[in-house]
Amino acid sequence: MLDPWGAFVDRGHAPFVASSDGCLRGLRLAVKDNIAVAGLKWTAGLPLFAERVAEHDATCVAALRAAGAEIVGTVATDSAGFGMMTPGVINPLAADRTVGGSSGGSGAAVAAGLADIALGTDTAGSVRVPAACCGIYGLKPTFGRISVDGVTPLSTTFDHVGILAADLDPLERATRVLLGRKELRGSVIRRVGFDAARLGNSDRAIGSAVERALAWLAARGYNLVELTLPDRIQLAEIHGLIVCGEAREAWCGYWPHEAGRFSDTARRSLAYADTITPQAIAAARRALHDARASIERAFAQADVIVGPTVAVVPPPAGARRVNLSGSNVPVVLALLAETCPFNVSGHPALAVPLATRAVGIPVSVQIAAHRDREADALALARVLAGMDGPA
């Protein structure tokens, strides 16, 4: 199958022949290029690893393969996971708009119909942001629920493996496999939390769509609870300090003596990491502890928390800065501002496409749930799926 969107890095892998009851039989799986797939390139988007081929499957890949998924190839990522735009990959829904990142190849492959499900990684929103930019579903599970064995690390504090799909059924089936459960047990959802300030500080098209989703839920008997989440810009800055500090440790075997074999984005990020002092990291970790406590207090008031997945409409491909709440900010900050709080807290979060469109792309709403309650996010997504018909 042709790939005019530039999603794939390596293709042509023979399918695994599973038992006849494999619950993922018939589903085509694309895998982000920082996750090992035996026999396929495993470059993590870096010139440094341009010729690296994985010898073994990552644990998450092996689980999906054993359940019958047919691996169709590895797909592009921002270099080493640094970035949110996946340069070189075209958005199948709007070619002039970013595909998101760093799991942009995963998002494009699913949105283009080249894969039914895709694996990605999510350190600050890198599954949910491309899902939002490509008009599909993207789930980041509870921290630690899916093994990162065989995944190129970025930040041990925040790295998650996640999954993207165009429809809820294959997403849920794959999630059951990855979480090691035949059934996903949820709870009774009564209280839907939201932060009104975040809606007001998002692009109008985004905020209005989320408000309509909340009204739809209220009309169906859910109790809306207004709550307060930590300041998204301050939290993103704290998160970024820790990520860069941990990335420096992850790449110390290659940086800086192999700097010429890193991409420009990775070089800039690691050079910045070299300027971060131990005192700054310690202060960021103290602030991280406070932010986690604040998010826990919010969850004490609600069964799920609903808000935008991305606060801005998908920016033009190649954009460096965008307007967010009246301020001109780096595009990366604008894209991850709503997703990174749940990497900080470790709660599961799901990007859900709505039928309402902005720049030709379905607006995405994010549903975050209590730890180990991925089923609650999926259940509420099914309720929202009936709001306007298919996205």
Catalytic residue among 79, 126, 155, 269: 126
Residue pair 138/335 in contact by the 8 Å Cβ criterion:
no
The residue type at 44: A
C-alpha distances (whole Å) from 233 to each of 96, 299, 327 are: 27, 20, 11
- Annotation marks residue 126 as catalytic: yes
Catalytic residue among 32, 41, 155, 364: 32
List the structure tokens of 256.
């800086």
Cβ atoms within 10 A of the Cβ of 289, count? 10
- Annotation marks residue 32 as catalytic: yes
Q: How far apart are CA 109 and CA 60, in angstroms?
A: 19
Catalytic residue among 41, 79, 102, 263: 102
Q: What is the set of active-site residues? A: 32, 102, 126
